[in-house]
Amino acid sequence: MADLSWLRSRKNRHACWLLIFKELHLSIGTDMKTKTLNFLRCIHPLTDSEYCDSELKQRDELTLICKRCGAEYSLRGGIPRLIHSNISENPYLKEEMIGAYYEMQFAPYILTGESQDRLSYPQSEIVTRSFEKNFYQSVTHLMGKQNLTEDFYQSLLELVRQEKLVTPNTTVLDIGCGLGRMTTEMARFDDVDYAIGLDSSAFMIEEATKLANSQQSQIPIKLNLVGGKTTSAKIGLDWTVDNCDFMVGDAQQLALQEGAFDLVLCLNVIDRVPNPTKVIEQIFRVLKSGGYLIITDPYDWENSPITREYWITDMAEFFSHNSKWQQVQEVDGIPFVMRSTSRQIVAYMNHCLIYRKITEETQS
């Protein structure tokens, strides 16, 4: 009988798995982008209130390691996973929701049917009582469009241009990026040097990486129907980007270098995290002095598992108590529609604000 006692060593087990993956030609281990690695920092706790915050290095195809404390982090397919296992489960990040996220973020690029037509929806004439009429007219108008939330993304991109938030060599962080629509849109700006998309869902980040890196003109996907059923479709992207990357991380504890980003996006995230205040504190930490934050939310607290004491119901009022944030712009009522299945949609009206990080350096 073979002697397997050598597998008791963690180092030997790791080497064994690495060898198996290589022999099976599994593409889960590869070098990550050096530029992304330069942004990463260790989140291993040293005390109850202090984290290591040191640089990381890639030890092998499956592991990142802290240069200071030796803490290890997983690496899969070149995607760093810097997150604690006890992060709260977000029901909107389950694998079965992937079809809804494809429609939400990439509807204009989805091709369906044998003829590969652009995705569209039938528009019904709905007769309702007078007090319901305006609401339902708005919803059916949005559903009748080929792109359910395209107005949302285009409105944000227009704000970026209008407020001149992108200047030469801008670095961008997209928190809660999902499939990476805004991450890649920002990377397409001529003056953006690099963009990183972060999400707590490893599955979403894997899909986002696949979309951003694919050399295929049409990428096969699944869209949600009802009862767990799906239908086949394809995404036909007419652009590619090589100056962006994605990572798995916790918005409440960003494993990223302090003062590293010129622009941070936090879109419809704060009502989906256990402590929104921590997220905003982390954003302030990773922003450069004079950097900008674009934050949106529909305040969907009634459907959120978050404890009421952490609810933020008006971001303008919340930020007004902190002199380190200067309001640049406020737009209320930006529509955002999510189609969970072929017979269910959720329509939101988003509150959008832009803030600038104020420090002694920016005031001098």
| pLDDT tens figures, 130-143 | 334 444 445 445 55
Q: pLDDT tens digits for 313-361?
A: 999 999 999 999 999 999 999 988 887 776 777 889 999 999 999 988 7
Answer yes or no: are the C-beta atoms of 347 and 144 closer than 8 Å: no
Q: pLDDT tens digits for 113-164?
A: 655 555 554 443 333 333 344 444 454 455 544 455 788 999 999 999 999 9
Q: pLDDT tens digits for 170-204?
A: 999 999 999 999 999 999 999 999 999 999 999 99
Answer yes or no: are the C-beta atoms of 298 and 326 closer than 8 Å: no
Lowest mean pLDDT among 1-10, 49-58, 226-235, 281-290: 1-10
Exposure string of 278-298, with b = 16+ CB inside 10 Å and e = fewer, is bbbebbbebbbeebbbbbbbb
Answer yes or no: are the C-beta atoms of 278 and 57 closer than 8 Å: no
**Interior CA angle at 30 toward 27 and 31, to 5°?**
165
CA 180 – CA 186 distance, rounded (Å): 10
pLDDT at 83: 84
10 Å Cβ neighbour count for 46?
Answer: 13
Domains and CATH numbers, the chain: 27-82 (no CATH), 91-363 (3.40.50.150)
CA 30 – CA 37 distance, rounded (Å): 13
Using 50, 70 and 90 to split pLDDT, how confident is the model at 22? very low
Number of H helices, E strands in the chain: 10, 15
Is it the case that residue 301 has pLDDT exceeding 70?
A: yes
Residue 178's alpha-carbon distances to 247, 268, 348, 356, in angstroms, are 11, 11, 17, 24
More reliable by pLDDT, 307 or 305: 307
Whole-number percent of the chain with pLDDT over 70: 77
pLDDT at 28: 43
Residue 325's alpha-carbon distances to 24, 218, 284, 290, 292, in angstroms, are 52, 43, 9, 10, 9
DSSP 293-309: EEEEE---GGG--S-GG
Using 50, 70 and 90 to split pLDDT, how confident is the model at 89? very low
User: What's the whole-model pTM score?
Assistant: 0.85
| Longest Cα–Cα distance in the chain | 80
Q: pLDDT tens digits for 252-286?
A: 999 999 999 999 999 999 999 999 999 999 999 99
CA 118 – CA 111 distance, rounded (Å): 5
Span 45-59, mean pLDDT? 94
Is it the case that residue 240 has pLDDT exceeding 70?
A: yes
